[in-house]
């Protein structure tokens, strides 16, 4: 007899290493400096860290800046993969 394991979707999970270390530090620090190479998971960490505090309700808000629109578009696209699982809704705003 085999037991079927139900797969539950997870909105976001930190990668082992720098992302999981940053998540642990974010729980005890107000400021966190997370640097590294391109494609090191820094932007994804920012989205996941924000998602971990979403239980604070509608008063919880955040802002994320990028130098160029293409960089911001990449993050917006990734947020569409994470936040719908948490009840998030994309509200189109003016990019300035």
Residue 1 has pLDDT above 60, yes or no: no
Are 49 and 64 contacting, i.e. CB atoms less than 8 angstroms apart? no
The span from the CA of 11 to the CA of 79, in Å, is: 10
Which residue from 40, 50, 39 is spatially nearest to 19, judged by alpha carbons?
40
Kindly list the domain boundaries of the chain, sorted by start residue.
Answer: 18-86
DSSP string, 47-94: HHHHHHTGGG-TT-------SSHHHHHHHHHHHHHHGGGGT-------
* Confidence at 47, pLDDT banded by 50, 70, 90: very high
pLDDT on residue 77? 92
Residue 15 has pLDDT above 60, yes or no: yes
What's the mean pLDDT when you consider all of the chain?
83
Residue 43 has pLDDT above 70, yes or no: yes
Residue 49 has pLDDT above 70, yes or no: yes
């Amino acid at each position: 007899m085999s037991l079927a394991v139900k797969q539950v979707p997870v909105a976001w999970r930190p990668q082992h290493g720098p992302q999981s270390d940053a998540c642990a530090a974010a729980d005890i620090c107000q400021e966190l400096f997370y640097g590294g190479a391109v494609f090191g998971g820094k932007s994804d960490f920012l989205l996941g860290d924000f998602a971990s505090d979403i239980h604070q309700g509608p008063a919880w808000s955040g802002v994320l800046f990028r130098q160029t629109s293409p960089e911001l578009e990449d993050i917006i696209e990734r947020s569409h993969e994470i936040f719908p699982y948490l009840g998030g809704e994309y509200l189109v705003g003016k990019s300035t």
